[in-house]
Structure formats: structure tokens, C-alpha cells
Homo-oligomer: A and B are copies of this chain.
Amino acid sequence: MIITENLITFFSETREHTEALCKPLEIEDYVVQPIVDVSPPKWHLGHTTWFFEEFILKHHKPNYQLFNEDFAFVFNSYYESIGKRVVRNDRGNLSRPGVAKVYDYRHYVTNELKELLSSNVSKEVEMLLLMGIHHEKQHQELLMTDIKYILGNNPLLPRYNDTFEEDYTQSFPSKWITMNEGIYEIGHDNPSSFCYDNELGRHKVFIHEYNISNKLVTNKEYLEFINSGGYEDFNLWHAEGWDWLKQTKISQPMYWHNIDGDWHHYTLKGLQKLNLDAPVMHISYFEAFAYAQWKGCRLPTEFEWEAAQKLFEWGSRWEWTESAYLPYPGYKKAPGAIGEYNGKFMVNQKVLRGSSVVSPNHHIRPTYRNFFQTNLRWQFTGIRLAK
């Protein structure tokens, strides 16, 4: 089949956009890995490239020459099927390949793929191409959260740039949206648009009557929770959350700094006074849950969220839900390495719905299921209440 011009443009733009996101970085910023959850930017650049090379070029481009044999080893992430990989917490220990070499690798693979796409290819290649583009978009989001972590945990607090806006104030009044009891259809249903396997299997869910807020919880509201002793009252927390609090000594969202009694937070524009009207962010599921308990409310399930999402504004914060990350009825993971993408994480994680200020275009949809462990905070996470 012939790949459409549109899709080729989509591919090119995605590849360029990743590089544009890295423009403000110094070379040193590409290298470090301050915690295991954060990957060095150059690793993101290499890994998204390796995906195209490993799954498309290597198998589908005749006489394709690997850019460098060792890169499969360096840039593989968690794909056990593909052989050895650098353990995840070792990524920040690798000074080589250097940044320039990684860009060479990117451009080589981009060009080789464009050449392949200009010829007649199989349906499978088109599917893998789409997969690779969306995989890269997912990493664009992680890239931004990781960059924020790398800069925001440096004692010099360097800014990323002067313009990136993280605070999306919702200036309308807050109210409860009431949803009727009944059967709702959940999951992706548009065969012509891309989605991940974990969104498939559109199915019926019975939901009891509930209320869901039209607004995200703000910094001001969250401050009230802090000031009223929310972090000291074990009644509000899961047992595991309470242990986590005592171990980490956490008492505020990530990136918050109290400077001479005034709350500030680090943003990609640098250290800023806390905007009280903006939605709170960088809180763990444990904190989101405790906040909801304190308010006498709860978090919505992912089904409640999806059923109601047309009725409220979303998109600036990933929103924690009460739902554990589980397969939809009839879920089957794809065979081989592609199948490692989602299914094997379906245990001990919570679903987040929506998207965030660093989510790339064309990567946002109501059925998207993001998921993280309950203690993680470096994402642009937020809270929406239900009851």
C-alpha cells in the first residue's frame, strides 16, 4: 500500500517536535537521571528512534544497515523479548553515545524511514508506523516531565524557557454535575483513529448515580488541606500511603518551596509565586485520595470520568481516578514485543484520565488510559472530586 502524504507529514512533524522540545537544553541536561523514574533526555531521543529501527527498518527495509549494533542494547527500555538492555537505573551513568551521536542516529533513522515510506509497503508497516509515532508522542510528554524534574531538582533551579505556561486557571464557578444511574459504553470505538490496545474492547458498565465536579481542585483549596493538618491525620490516608508519608517526610506537593512564609513553586519558567487559583499539581494518588477523604468526597472511577467527560473542561492535568489499572473485558495482548507495551503493567497501578499541559497534540482523547504507581508525583497530576 501507499502511505498517505498526511501520515508522512505526521511522522516528520513528530520527529521534529521531539527535537524542538530539547532546544532549550544544554548538552549536560541530556545526560543525567536523578531518580529511576526519570530518563535522561538523550535516552528518550535514542529510544524513540530505536523503536522505528527495531520494529520497522530492521525487518521491513531491504538491506537496511543498523546505525550501530550496540544501540539496541543501550536504547531498549523494558522489552525483554529483544534481548539484553541497560538496566533502567543505569541510564544516567552512560556518557556515551554523546548527544551529537544520538542526533546523528535520529536523522539517519528518520531519513531511512522516509525512504522506506516513499515505496510500496505492507499494511503492517503502516500499523507499526502509527504505533511508533504515538510511542514517540508519549515520550514527548515524559520528556517534558523528566526535563522539569532534572532542572527543578537542581539547587540552581535553572529555567527551561521564559514562556512555558503550566497554570490554566479555571475561572468559572464550581458546581456538581449529576449523572444518572444506568449502563454506559466505555472504551474506544472509532476504528479509523488510533488508540492503544488497553482502550479497546468497548464494553458496557453499570454506573450508579453520582456527582462529579466541573472543576479541578485548586492550589488554594489544597493549601487549606495542608493548613488544617491533612498531612498529619492518618485517618485520611491509606495504610500504605501513611507509611510512605512517614518514610519520605513529604508534607506538600512536589516543587513547592516555602520561602520566608510565602509559597512558591518551580515551573518550567523558573521559580514562581504560587498561583492560588490554578489547579494543584504534582501530587501522588495517596495525596489525591487523602484530600478527597478530607473533603468528605472521593475520586471518580475511570468509568465515571469517561461517562461524564463531555460535560466538563479537562486537559491541563492528568486526573487520578479510583480505578486500578486492569484489562477491559476481552483484552488480549498483542503477540511479541509490541504486546509488552501495556498489558504487563496491569497490576498495582492507578488509572489517570485526561491529559496535561505537556501532552502533545493528537495524543489526547477521552478514552486514553494513563497509569502510574500510587506514590509517583513527577507527572502533571491533578484532582477532580466525585461523590
Q: Is the CB of B330 within 8 A of A80?
A: no
Q: Which of A109-117, A123-131, A150-158, A308-316 contacts its partner?
A: A150-158
With a cutoff of 8 Å between Cβ atoms, the chain B residues found around residue A24 in the complex are none
Q: Could you tell me the distance in whole angstroms from the C-beta of A113 to the nearest C-beta in chain B?
A: 24
**CB contact between A29 and one of B95, B154, B237, B322 (< 8 Å): that residue:** B95
With a cutoff of 8 Å between Cβ atoms, the chain B residues found around residue A203 in the complex are 208
State the CA gap A158–B74 with chains docked (Å).
14
With a cutoff of 8 Å between Cβ atoms, the chain B residues found around residue A330 in the complex are 208
Question: Which residues A215-271 have CB closer than 8 A to chain B?
Answer: 234-235, 237-242
Q: Is the CB of B348 within 8 A of A154?
A: no
**CB contact between A94 and one of B154, B183, B208, B239 (< 8 Å): that residue:** B154
With a cutoff of 8 Å between Cβ atoms, the chain B residues found around residue A339 in the complex are 235
Tell me which of A42, A155, A158 has the highest count of chain B C-beta atoms within 10 A of its own C-beta: A155
With a cutoff of 8 Å between Cβ atoms, the chain B residues found around residue A151 in the complex are 95-96
**CB contact between A34 and one of B93, B153, B326, B329 (< 8 Å): that residue:** B93
Contact with B along A272-309 (1 / 0, CB 8 A): 00000000000001100100000000100000000000
State the CA gap A98–B24 with chains docked (Å).
13
State the CA gap A42–B329 with chains docked (Å).
45
Question: Which residues A308-357 have CB closer than 8 A to chain B?
Answer: 322-324, 326-327, 329-330, 339-340, 344-348
With a cutoff of 8 Å between Cβ atoms, the chain B residues found around residue A329 in the complex are 208, 210
With a cutoff of 8 Å between Cβ atoms, the chain B residues found around residue A26 in the complex are 95-96, 98
State the CA gap A280–B34 with chains docked (Å).
35
Q: Could you tell me the distance in whole angstroms from the C-beta of A143 to the nearest C-beta in chain B?
A: 14
Q: Is the CB of A205 within 8 A of B206?
A: yes
Q: Is the CB of B95 within 8 A of A240?
A: no
Q: Could you tell me the distance in whole angstroms from the C-beta of A96 to the nearest C-beta in chain B?
A: 5
**CB contact between A346 and one of B31, B73, B94, B238 (< 8 Å): that residue:** B238
Q: Is the CB of A93 within 8 A of B30?
A: no
Question: Which residues A331-387 have CB closer than 8 A to chain B?
Answer: 339-340, 344-348, 374
Query: 19 interchain pairs (CB within 8 A)?
Result: A27-B98, A28-B96, A28-B99, A29-B95, A30-B95, A31-B31, A31-B95, A73-B155, A74-B156, A80-B234, A80-B235, A203-B208, A235-B340, A237-B344, A238-B345, A286-B347, A298-B327, A323-B326, A347-B374
